[in-house]
Structure 1
């Protein structure tokens, strides 16, 4: 019996650009003029670090850069995902060996895909890799661009120092390295100066869409039905709908797509429907996200509880004026004194990485004195704490127009006084690897999960933990009854999303 095919609209797979089938990539992705500027920088000469949170669109930009360079033959580009478990579990020379072998294979595969007759000399260390890349550039008479995706894992910072040494070493007048990183990367190593040895580009998709059409364009491309005026109530337009969802998820593309998926079967959309969507996102997307991410944080896993407490205190602060009738509409952005952000730096990095908040300005003067960054808070969690929990057209206009005054948390504020940061171990393995494969089941924490049937089939083959699944070869998985190539890919994709977020 042939294995079942995956549905085209399988949200579990299309949430991650690196797992989107190449033939469907253009149909699922839209790039704005701002994105085009970033793509040109990724295609140009010179080392670049693309920085953004989970689901912010880093992979999509890297893949689109690779697609365009392939199409115009301006350079020989290689897109390489570093979602490779041995890289997470090694350091030093062992990491370098895995890295060089993996990159050599990817380059050889790309040469074959582009029908180049040139051979690439496999390398086992960075010196051999430098020599091989220089020979390849000379043979092709082209510069080489290497796009490293998922270079960083928030739970394992130590191996990053080795990666950035390699990133710096491989960058030359003929080879340009680009890599995606998350906002909290701090350990770049002693040889790598992040601002002198690279250009850092922050993905900051505006979550306030006054005068912009990015989210409307995404909906027209991916959800044409949701762009039709006739399905919306009189007081809600397609553009306001798109802008509100974009603002609600602070510009995070993965959360935006998940929100749009909730309206796929709607024949009519009104403000109460959007209200219900935002409240449901708070309950079954944002808070389960904390549960999902905890075992992936490694040494930072103890911070998940204080991160939840910091965020709850932040939302309470923003909604307090509405609860006391001092304001009609909750403030959705806040300036936090830099001393407080410094005290809870890793907490804010985790919240920003997960898309609970988004940094909008690096520093702004405060009425109460001092300076601090400005953060936008997701509207789903904010609406959940508004007393009426009712979305109005006035709130929509205020929030997408960025009209409410900024709230402030000054240096002596008691907002976070009751939050205690636990001590962190010097090193810790990723807890997700020892988890049972049961956690990969479709659930609120894992909306992209596996069916019960697939989990039972894996267990019958003696695969019971994430680590055992990661160590299982493709051939071993294919030997399981009713598991063919498409299902193997699905299982791998879900596993990688579980480990890498």
Structure 2
């Protein structure tokens, strides 16, 4: 059994569930990701794009915690992960769009309070009423109740609130970090969200949003590249420092006794799992936990084996496919794209199998080239929705 104070949660993969100390101690950022965090802390609107589990929340939370120590910037972190709990209300009400807008704004007001409580304690009595009303509004919606009379707050009024906090804190500007933004919303809600997002960009306020590639709908007035710079999140498997970075992830996360399990000949297992994760830290940590057969209650583990590594990769592939299939069910307009993507994957795998059948290990490949003329608008969107996952046996 491991005697380590971290043993209870070392495999927690969601950054929003980690404390500041855990996040800073366990996170390994590549040079490229360090630059992404710097842009998240800077002026201007940004869109942080990446698949599920690619580390968007880690980058957002890292930027937030670093800005808490800034003397110039007031950071606000808002997470919209609980949106699905409110979906029945948003679907049943004729005023659903307005309720959604007010919920988005109320969450920002709570984010203002949270930053103030953690680091500054500058809130004035003038804003307490809005804080109380925002809290009550969110709590009512989460239990299925809609307040009959609630004070509506416009984006312009929200900007005034943010400016008051910035001024009271003696800072020059604010960075508004929207985590889990838009990807769980309906198409109409996404457009409403990004209209608010666009309106919140001012000389003082710099909004940033974490979104999924290929499935996000922006408002008619928002133009990507002009109104917001796109930043890419995830560890790139083709980066020369990829394996070194993934190794550092484990070195920071795991106690020495568990890290030693991947030394010597077993280091190949670590590389195998890192490449199979396709740069998704959440998938990587989940597979490492399975390979070590880690018992969270006991804090115990077993030496890693190739057999458990193969099974962990197969389960990871199954989970990735299930995520895409559920996307097609939740968002019917993508169902045909996802079905076509699966057929394309099967075609890729068939081509790779035939090409590699007579090749020795050093000559085998996992790369498929696609002619540019094949990538029309529909197929390009299809490929953005998913990245092909290759099973261990071909």
For this structure pair, what is the TM-score category when the shorter chain's length is used for normalisation?
A: 0.7 to 0.9
Q: Is residue 350 of structure 1 aligned with residue 385 of structure 2?
A: yes
Gap change, CA 1:202 and 1:60, over 3 Å in 2: same
Q: Is residue 165 of structure 1 aligned with residue 195 of structure 2?
A: yes
Distance 2:185 2:80 in 1: 15
How do residues 68-467 of structure 1 correspond to structure 2 at under 5 angstroms?
68-83=66-81, 84-85=83-84, 86=86, 89=90, 92-119=97-124, 121=127, 122=130, 124-142=153-171, 143-153=173-183, 156-185=186-215, 187-208=217-238, 210-212=240-242, 213-223=244-254, 224-228=256-260, 232=263, 234=265, 236=266, 238=267, 240-265=268-293, 267-269=302-304, 274-282=309-317, 284-290=318-324, 292-301=326-335, 303-323=337-357, 325=358, 329-342=363-376, 343-351=378-386, 357=387, 377-379=388-390, 381=391, 383-385=392-394
Residue 55 of structure 1 is aligned with which of 42, 53, 56? Answer: 53
- The alignment's TM-score, normalised by the length of structure 2, stands at 0.77
Question: Which one scores higher on RCO, CA 8 angstroms, separation ≥ 6?
Answer: 2
Give the superposition deviation at 1:25: 2.9
1:8: which partner in 2? 8
Gap change, CA 1:291 and 1:201, over 3 Å in 2: closer
Secondary structure of 1:207's aligned partner = coil
Q: Is 2:78–2:111's contact at 8 Å kept on the other side of the alignment? A: yes
Distance 1:338 1:156 in 2: 32
Distance 2:303 2:21 in 1: 32
Distance 1:53 1:243 in 2: 21
Distance 2:72 2:122 in 1: 18
Gap change, CA 1:344 and 1:118, over 3 Å in 2: same
- Root-mean-square deviation (Å): 3.1
Structure 2 segments unaligned to the other structure (5+ residues): 1-6, 131-151, 294-300
Distance 2:369 2:30 in 1: 28
Q: Is 1:247–1:378's contact at 8 Å kept on the other side of the alignment? A: no
Q: Is 2:79–2:180's contact at 8 Å kept on the other side of the alignment? A: yes
Secondary structure of 2:206's aligned partner = strand
Higher helix share: 2
Q: Is 1:219–1:226's contact at 8 Å kept on the other side of the alignment? A: no
Secondary structure of 1:177's aligned partner = strand
Aligned residues: 346
Give the superposition deviation at 1:320: 2.0
Distance 2:323 2:393 in 1: 16
Per-residue CA deviation, residues 98-149 of structure 1 (Å, 9 max, x unaligned), is: 2222211221232223242333743611121122223332333311111001
Q: Is 1:87–1:99's contact at 8 Å kept on the other side of the alignment? A: no
Secondary structure of 2:291's aligned partner = coil
1:32: which partner in 2? 30
- The alignment's TM-score, normalised by the length of structure 1, stands at 0.61
